[in-house]
Structure 1
């Protein structure tokens, strides 16, 4: 069993994050008096939370994913997250395209590359 400090250090997290996750129902470490004690299963759960966070899931979705026994429910959450990620990726690609345009015009509004991006935005709006 590990202390909150040991778990926090292992995952590079502040201890208050682990306490918050506990308050949100994501973790339920054992107690030895007033001290939290984390088992190997708890460590795996912390790792699972971090994996889901890296995929962009919000804590409420992560809690549902970890407690929902329905594969269909998890699949629906994954589908929603997939769409959110696709939207974020498209925005990031548009930003990258703007940056890579490396406009050298004195007036940004006269830059042909920037004009193309503006036209695309107008077409989408």
Structure 2
């Protein structure tokens, strides 16, 4: 699919500058099948209005945490069920990261709100330590294995 000729035809440098992207990024996206610029008589890439929309879409989806392969799969389908199949794992991963970030924030805020000079004296800190020790004993896990569970310190 070639770009629309509607609107100004931008060079690769102009398109990159418009979005703050290096030209090699746009070339990479083209090799991945995400962009399909038209070519002028000299073989130079010319980007139109459709390409502006594609680049903006790619940037929005990347900001949402999607990889280029997933973005390519999404752009290749108009089927709702396929779109859901592609996005469902990304949504689950994002929910998991949000839960971990919330737990981390609770932990940090607990430390900030602790009235004790030494945070290790905070009752909730001590409770968390006991819970961690008890939980690892119940599962027979080594004490040095990281745990991503969060919660308040204070």
Common fold by TM > 0.5: yes
C-alpha distance in structure 1 between counterparts of 2:47 and 2:19, whole Å:
13
Q: Which has the higher contact order (CA 8 A, sep 6+)?
A: 2
SS of aligned partner of 1:93: helix
Alignment of 1:29-108 (within 5 A): 29-32=37-40, 33-102=42-111, 103=114, 106=118, 108=120
SS of aligned partner of 1:27: coil
Q: Which runs of 5+ in 2 are unaligned?
A: 1-8, 137-146, 150-154
Would the aligned equivalents of 1:52 and 1:62 in 2 still touch at CA under 8 Å?
yes
Q: Per residue, is there more helix in 1 or in 2? A: 1
Residues 111 and 51 of structure 1: CA distance in aligned 2, closer, same or farther (over 3 Å): same
Q: Pairwise CA RMSD of aligned residues?
A: 2.6
* Larger Rg over CA atoms: 2
Q: TM-score, normalised by structure 1?
A: 0.82
Q: TM-score, normalised by structure 2?
A: 0.68
Matched residue pairs, number?
124
